[in-house]
Structure 1
Amino acid sequence: MPIEKFPSGTSSIVGAFESPRRKAPGIHPYQIHAEVIAGALDDAGLTLDDVDGFATAATFPAEAGWQLSAVEIAEYVGIKPSWVCSTDIGGAAPLSHVGNAVAAIQAGLCEVVVISYASSGRSWPLPATDFNTGQTGPGQFEVPYGMSTISAYALAATRYMHAYGVRPEQLAQVAVQARANASLNPHAMYRDPITVDDVMSSAMISTPLRKLDCCVVSDSGGAIVVTSRQRAQDTRNGGPTVLGFGEAISHGQMNQMADLTTTCAEHSGRRAFASAGLRPEDIRVAQLYDSFTITVALTLEALGFVGRGEAGAFIAEGGISPTGRLPINTDGGGLSSNHSGRRGMYAVIEAVRQLRGESPGVQIDAPEFCLVNGTGGWLSAAATLILGSNR
């Protein structure tokens, strides 16, 4: 869909619910789907009978899905949709689902869409390989050498730090700020404060990324409800309007990444800003995918919040703090609160809460807009949403 054709402002997110579960051994992901869908519909004041659209992605082992996973989950929960979406671009997928749902509602294919996600990322009892281990195509040049998600991101971090002189202590500030935000969130997985020294003395996992540079591994799930702005007026709590959307993909394996110092969020962000009629300087709070501290630095630059190579200084000077230029991940993010596999869902939920004035972490004073950016795969995909407050 051309940027100028995206139906900006026509749909709202009227229900949102994040599971409080962080460790749920013995709980099947489909049960979590059912719990969070019920919670999101209750938040919206709607029922399963109102739902005629459904979107999810559940292809990773700990999500318990396989082919036709959207069919399986809809059947389990009891949804009989006239429109369905199972787009899978990794952690960015839930944001992609929002954009697709807005387009489907505008096209008249459905009116009330539930988007859900659940995973036993921490407690899944069966052996599971890393998600990106295809042995054909570009994978033949990496799989034999034991490439993993964290080593892929570590390659990007190494190149970025070499190119721009960014120091690991600057990246560590991302984790420190995430933990400070999480300290206020009663459901965050980790709430005890940490320092830059704590990050720098934590175990090295894949140079230059240490343990506290990496996201938590949790069990959890979340769901949101998207409907037309007209229908939103009749819901229990209403919710923010979807103003901008963009998505982009770049590569499957790291050996095909054209430039390890930036991501395709350059393209998804540009499309989101254009469709919303906004610029980076209009955004005062954001929820940025933080699988690793390096992910945040690359995303800040790709979205145009700072120039190339400037993220380290911006972070170290307090730019992402609650009193800084761009507070991020106000619930504690994936680095401290919740990351069960596709953090994009929780980032969208926190954006909704932030714009409603309901953040369980750090609540920013009356934000007008909130940007959400999801990252998928090995910096392989990006999706960007811009939501606007209706308060």
Structure 2
Amino acid sequence: MGDTFPRGGTAIAGLATFGIGEMPGFTSMELTAQAALLAVRDAGLTLPEVDALFICQPDDFFSGLSFAEYLGLQPRYTDNNRTGGSAFMSHIAVAAMMLDAGYIDCALIAYGSNQRSNGGKLATRISSNQWDAPYAPLFPLTSYALATARHMHEFGTTREDLAAVALSARAWANTNPEAFAKGPLTLEDCLSARMVSTPISVRDCCLVTDGAAAIVLTRTTRARDLAKRVVPVLGAAAATWWNSIAQAPDVTVTAASESGARAMAMAGVVPRDIRTAQLYDAFTINTILFLEDLGFCPKGEGGRFVSSGAIAPGGSLPVNTNGGGLSCCHPGMYGLFAVIEAARQIRGEAANQLADVDVALAHGNGGTLSSQATVVLGSPATL
């Protein structure tokens, strides 16, 4: 059965971030609500006009209910998808089809976490999976280390290649006022960094920050009459191939190869049409894997692609132009921040604004390379 999607029928009408970095004194829901209110205001709408809520909080399994209560809304539909950092791209797919069907009129998609100020850490011990637990792996680091080691073994990827991802992210962050991690970062800094789960060092790991993000999605015909430049959703797809990476038949290939191909087909684009890609970089290997799986370079060539400077400022494919999860922010889940950076580039509002952005891709990752979801956004010229 083929994919059907309302290409360009829905659009991001409002967006906002709030509290990126450190925001002590705020709960995760308080951060989320602030971003939500700002996004609704950015769209030129009012809160009562929102009739659908999509959320995935790190510390509240009933966050869909909590969010509605906190905002004082009684939405027609609430979604609390818990696929991790990819959840928000999946939210866009669901909301777009519900809007197209006339089931809802205005969707608010939001996320927030006080992970840093609440003392959160990047790693815990896996205890829930009976097959993994006896080996006491770190969650999620060891799973990504496994994928990294295999990629190195199979394709000759080097730690210098991994470092190129971190260095590129820092170069973008250094000119983004919103980014949390700034300052000099050298190849030697990366290569000499403390190992966390070999071959992943601390420089291969994302940040632990606070922060919140929100977008407002509505039908494009309505969005055209609102406050900001319309950002149509051209395609959105998700794919899940496993939960534990121990169940993966090949740890060097992810379901991004499926979600990306489907989202681009819906959008009617191919990789060379995409001006910028915002990729979920929880670890440096993510960027390399997703560049390959999304078709920006052949499988096994990702390391050499990033080391060529292609994804850095001035490169042929600007990636994570806000600094990504490695240097801008990573409050538990990064997916919605990738969407917002892609939309800002199309709006012409990004800190590191690129010229002539008509098509931008945002890709989310959840679990241990488990859930993958891809969104392709366009400018009004793409309709």
TM-score when normalising by structure 2: 0.96
How far the C-alpha of 1:125 sits from its partner, in A, is 5.1
Kept in 2: contact 1:242–1:386 (CA 8 A): yes
Find the partner of 1:354 among 345, 358, 369.
Answer: 345
Q: How does 1:346-385 map to 2 (within 5 A)?
A: 346-360=337-351, 362-385=352-375
1:186 counterpart = 2:181: no
Name 1:87's counterpart in structure 2: 81
Cα distance in 1 between the residues matched to 2:97 and 2:344: 23
Q: Are the equivalent residues in 2 in contact too, given 1:205–1:211 (CA < 8 A)?
A: yes
Identity percentage over the alignment? 41
- Distance apart, 1:24 and its partner CA: 1.9
SS of the residue 1:173 aligns to? helix
Q: Provide the C-alpha distance between the structure 2 equivalents of 1:285 and 1:295, rounded to a whole number of angstroms.
A: 16
Tell me by how many angstroms 1:55 deviates. 0.3
- 2:29 aligned counterpart, secondary structure: helix
- State whether residues 281 and 287 of structure 2, in contact with CA within 8 Å, keep that contact through their aligned partners in structure 1: yes
Residue 65 (structure 2) aligned to one of 57, 65, 71: 71
- 2:133 matched residue in structure 1: 143
Query: Within 1, Cα distance between the matches of 2:378 and 2:36?
Result: 23
2:20–2:179 Cα contact (<8 Å) kept: no
Q: Aligned to 1:166, what secondary structure does the other structure show? A: coil
Q: Using a 3 Å threshold, how does the CA distance of structure 1 residues 190 and 125 change in structure 2: closer, same or farther?
A: closer
Moved more, 16-25 or 281-290: 16-25
The equivalent of 1:55 in structure 2 is 54
User: Distance between the aligned counterparts of 2:121 and 2:283, measured in 1?
Assistant: 23
Q: Which amino acid aligns with 2:81?
A: T
Q: CA deviation at 1:21?
A: 3.1
Gaps of 5+ in 1: none
Matched residues, number: 380
Following superposition, the deviation at residue 257 of structure 1 comes to 1.2
Task: Tell whether 2:139 aligns with 1:174.
Answer: no
Letter in 2 for 1:149: P
Whether the 8 Å contact between 2:168 and 2:312 is mirrored in structure 1 is: yes
| 2:144 matched residue in structure 1 | 153
* Runs of 4+ off more than 6 Å: 126-129
Question: Deviations 1:111-153 (Å, cap 9, x if unpaired)?
Answer: 11000001122122589984x9463xxx101123222211110
Match of 2:328 among 324, 337, 362: 337
Q: Alpha-carbon deviations, 1:173-223, whole Å to 9, x = none?
A: 110010010011112111102111111111111111111111000011100
CA distance in 2, matches of 1:209, 1:191: 21
**CA distance in 2: counterparts of 1:125 and 1:381, whole angstroms:** 26
Tell me the CA shift for residue 39 of structure 1.
0.7
In the aligned structure 2, how far is the partner of 1:153 from the partner of 1:126? 19
The within-5 A match list for 1:1-391 is: 2-3=2-3, 5-58=4-57, 60=58, 64-66=59-61, 68-124=62-118, 130=124, 133=126, 135=128, 139-147=129-137, 148-360=139-351, 362-390=352-380
Indicate if the aligned counterparts of 2:20 and 2:329 stay in contact, CA closer than 8 A.
Answer: no
Deviation of 1:323 after TM superposition, in Å, equals 2.2
Is contact 2:346-2:357 (8 Å) kept?
Answer: yes
Instruction: State the AA in 2 paired with 1:6.
Output: F
Answer yes or no: is the 8 Å Cα contact 2:121–2:208 preserved in 1. no
Amino acid in the other structure paired with 1:287: Q
For residues 300 and 200 of structure 1, what CA distance do their matches in structure 2 show?
Answer: 22
Aligned residue identity for 1:233: R
Give, as a single letter, the amino acid of the residue that structure 2 aligns with 1:71: L
Quick one: structure 1 residues 385 and 27, their matched pair in 2 at CA, closer, same or farther if it must change by over 3 Å? same
Whole-Å separation in 2 of the counterparts to 1:300 and 1:231: 34
Contact 2:236 2:373 in 1 (8 A): yes
Could you say what secondary structure the match of 1:19 adopts? strand
Amino acid corresponding to residue 103 of structure 2 in structure 1: L
Q: Is the 8 A contact 2:19 2:31 kept in 1?
A: no
> Which amino acid is 2:42 matched to?
D
Q: CA RMSD in A?
A: 1.6
Q: For residues 307-327 of structure 1, give each alpha carbon's deviation from its aligned partner in whole angstroms, at most 9, with x where no partner exists.
A: 011011111111112322211
For 2:73 and 2:126, locate their aligned partners in 1 and report how far apart those are by CA, in whole Å: 33
Contact 2:122/2:208 (<8 A) preserved: no
Residues 262-282 of structure 1, C-alpha deviations (whole Å, 9 max, x = no match): 110000001101111111111
Give ranges in structure 2 of 5+ residues lacking alignment.
Answer: none
**Displacement after TM superposition at 1:20 (Å):** 3.5
Q: Distance in 1 between matches of 2:183 and 2:312?
A: 17
Conserved 8 A contact 1:289-1:334: yes
